[in-house]
Amino acid sequence: MFAWIAAHTLHFAMIGGVAAVSVPIIIHLISKHRHRRIRWGAMQFLLASVQRSSRRIKLQQLILLIIRCLILALVAIALMRPFFNVLARGRPDVRTDMVILLDNSMSMGYGAEKLSVASRAARLADRLMGLLKSGDTITIIAVEKKPRRITDSPLFDVDKARKLLKDVRPSAGPARFFDSLLEALRILETTHNPRREVFIVTDMQAHEWTLNEDALWQTIQDRLKDATPRPSLFLLNVQEGTRANRAITQLSLPPLVLTPGRTAQFTARVANLSPDPVQAFKVEILLDGKLLEERLLDLKASESAEVSFSHRFTKPGWYVVSTKIPSDSLPTDNVRNLTVQVKSSVPVLMIEEKEKEYLTLALAPTDEGDVSSVKLTHIQPSNLPTEALKDYSAVILTDTRSLSLTLIAAIESYVQSGGGLLIVPGDGLDIPFWNENLYAGGHGFLPAPFKERFTATDPTSLSPVVTPHPALAFFSEKAEFLEQNQTHIVRWMKLAPTEAERVKVLAGFKTGDPFILERPFGKGTVILLTTDAHREWNDLPTHGFFVAMLNQLVFYVASRGETGANPSVGDSLTFPVPEGLESSTITFTSPDGERHDIEIERAGKRFVTKPLDCPRSGVYFLNFASATKNVTIPISVGVDPRESDLSPLTPEQLTMLRNRIGLQVARNWDDLENFWGKNQIPYEMWRWFILAALALMLLENYLTRRWSRPQEEAKKPSSLELAKAGVADKG
């Protein structure tokens, strides 16, 4: 019973007001027992007159009591705002709370500006607002990576909502309809009109709906089930016909630090997301806006191709590498940029008790003509100030015995904040101490615990099976060499099973024991080698690939903590302030030339900019200017490659949405009017209850006046009764 009442009232909590019916009854009972009887002789003549009409008076009082109780009950029920559903004919003439979810993803920019999908969506939203009447509310939410309210709260002023709608700027980011729909339902839980509608205005791009996340959509189902009244959900398709698109969906560089003289290998992916093939499709490769080279591609329908190219940077600094294809109806994904930092050198700290000669020679060769990109610093652990770690891009930890707990904690903090760590064990390693303090049951930075220092009777060799990895790409060229057992490994650290998370074996020995392990730790990365770079352990330093391997591993771990100058649209990022520029003037310039002054804040031991918003794709510029120094850093903001796939929701997916959340799909305005004609709408009853209460109040007032006069007359004794009463008193 209560469940039925709750489902047919807007304010079920007001059911407590029905208890007010008891107030007249309580007053009646209190007044009934309030008087104390006092008997006196003359009263018997007066009582004889009153008793003749007592039954009639009691009946009249009972009727008035019932009327007064009904008045209070009707007012309480009216405050609950009861309703029942009736079949609509056309758009319901009922006060409505409307929410418009306006798709503002990159795909909505398809087409010429005035004929784009986004412009059609804005016109449709404006037409929907034209349906609203006095007392209705409107809320507009831009569906983006995160829901963005165009109206801060439900508005009664439709003209104001229209002005806010005109100020919406197109986004180049993705859309998440689940989050926006959940936000709409939260808003409707705070409104009070009997009819509630959610209109989703979109091009129906499929990937934005995340239909495979069943748990999320169950949340929507539960909210709709509990909603009173249940909102009507409509999906309005503003896309007409099939859309063809060609896009650059990827531009990447291996995660290795770049220094002058090193050749960078880039990879781009070009996709033909259309039903027709293309021939001699031009791809331009640019550096800081200047053309480097052109490629021509032939692409079949729905085919993509990889474009690889390289460039040798000769000077340190910040660069923007771009790939570009001819503009089409969705120009945002026809250009993709990548910010590249070329460092003058890579500062590396080697913590050791005695110098590792082979490691030093591999990272900092001294032969005439050799040029090293690594700026190597040797230090004993007892002489290392822990705060100095932040000055290095990578740290190499050898088999030192005298690691203090303070230094271990400093290394752990360094890696967690983005530093790179390469561990090379050896004869001096204290296995119990390292397992207890560096592995720490899987919570420390050591990827795996050591079992024993093992010396083989028969030397083994490196396995030719290597996990694909940017730091070990050269191993693919050495597969035949490794297969021929041309490396000799005599001693290595055997490992016990690890409980650490996300540990990956990159390379191993032919015995099956791991050689190189990687573990992400916080924002940084740890690489563990299980054999030392020493002739008593192996002959690796005598092979040419050893130098390349060691340098690539150092460049890899050093790059893991690099600040991302290549965010995606909709991301908010902070950027470290270059040393010495903490008091500089900082400006952030968008691709269309808008400039904003930026403040900084302290983050740990360094300063960073306050969050920078990147709502559109393109190259932004972050400038640090002081009296003596000026640094400009380009930031390349890219689009989500999935946004380039314009495939719409399939009929099966639309059926799934209809079954899950009752979503009704309208492909045009006529479809929408048909839905209104078939919908059950709430018809509110509170006005009738108020009118009934008013009528009963008038009736109660009339009866009270009408019945009170005869009672007063009945209470007056006749002259004969008064005479008898007087005689009795004298007596």
Tens of pLDDT, residues 460-494: 998 888 888 888 887 766 666 666 667 899 999 99
Q: Give the burial class of 589: count Cβ atoms within 10 A of its Cβ; 0-12 exposed, 13-18 middle, 19 or more buried.
A: middle
Please report which confidence band the pLDDT of residue 49 belongs to, taking 50, 70 and 90 as the band edges.
low
Distance between CA atoms of residues 114 and 105, nearest Å: 17
State the amino acid at position 250 in one-letter form: Q
- The mean pLDDT value for 390-419 works out to 89
Distance between CA atoms of residues 206 and 308, nearest Å: 30
SS3 490: strand
| 520: CB partners within 8 A, 6+ apart | 502, 526, 560
Helix (H) or strand (E) holding 559: helix 544-559
Q: What is the reported pLDDT for 368? A: 42
In this chain, the answer to whether the domains covering 245-343 and 572-637 adopt an identical fold is: yes
Helix (H) or strand (E) holding 348: strand 346-351
Cα angle value 131/110/328 (rounded, 5°): 160
| 709: CB partners within 8 A, 6+ apart | none
Residue 114 has pLDDT above 80, yes or no: no
Alpha helices in 189-229 (DSSP H): 214-226
Distance between CA atoms of residues 373 and 552, nearest Å: 11
Whole-angstrom Cα Rg for the chain: 40
CA atoms within 13 A on the CB side of 331: 8
Distance between CA atoms of residues 543 and 538, nearest Å: 11
In 461-548, which ranges are E strands? 489-495, 504-508, 514-521, 524-529
Q: Give the CATH number of domain 346-559.
A: 3.40.50.880
Question: DSSP character for 428?
Answer: T
Domain boundaries, the chain: 2-33+42-79+712-730, 86-236+646-684, 245-343, 346-559, 572-637
- The mean pLDDT value for 278-299 works out to 94
Look at residues 120, 118, 110, 645 and name the one whose alpha carbon lies nearest to residue 328: 110
Q: What is the reported pLDDT for 577? A: 83
Regarding predicted confidence, which is higher, 218 or 73?
Answer: 218
Residue 183 backbone phi and psi in degrees, to 5: -65, -40
| 390: CB partners within 8 A, 6+ apart | 414, 417, 419, 605, 606
Q: Give the CATH number of domain 245-343.
A: 2.60.40.10
Residue 20 has pLDDT above 70, yes or no: no
Cα angle value 14/19/24 (rounded, 5°): 135
Whether the CB-CB separation of 318 and 633 falls below 8 Å is answered with: yes
Residue 204 backbone class (left: φ over 0; alpha: ψ -120 to 50; beta: rest): left
Residue 539 has pLDDT above 60, yes or no: yes
Residue 532 has pLDDT above 70, yes or no: yes
Whether the CB-CB separation of 391 and 558 falls below 8 Å is answered with: no
Distance between CA atoms of residues 97 and 193, nearest Å: 6
Q: What is the reported pLDDT for 369? A: 41
Q: DSSP of 38-87, one letter per residue?
A: ---TTHHHHHHHHHTTHHHHHHHHHHHHHHHHHHHHHHHHHHT-BEEEEE
Please report which confidence band the pLDDT of residue 499 belongs to, taking 50, 70 and 90 as the band edges.
confident
SS3 403: coil
Mean pLDDT of the chain: 84
Q: Which CATH number fits domain 572-637: 2.60.40.10, 2.70.70.10, 3.30.70.240, 3.40.50.620?
A: 2.60.40.10
Distance between CA atoms of residues 297 and 220, nearest Å: 45
The domain 86-236+646-684 belongs to what CATH superfamily?
Answer: von Willebrand factor, type A domain (3.40.50.410)
pTM: 0.75
Please name every residue paired with 568 in a beta bridge, in sequence order, or none if there are none: 638
Distance between CA atoms of residues 158 and 155, nearest Å: 7
Distance between CA atoms of residues 564 and 252, nearest Å: 13
Regarding predicted confidence, which is higher, 677 or 272?
Answer: 272
Distance between CA atoms of residues 638 and 619, nearest Å: 9
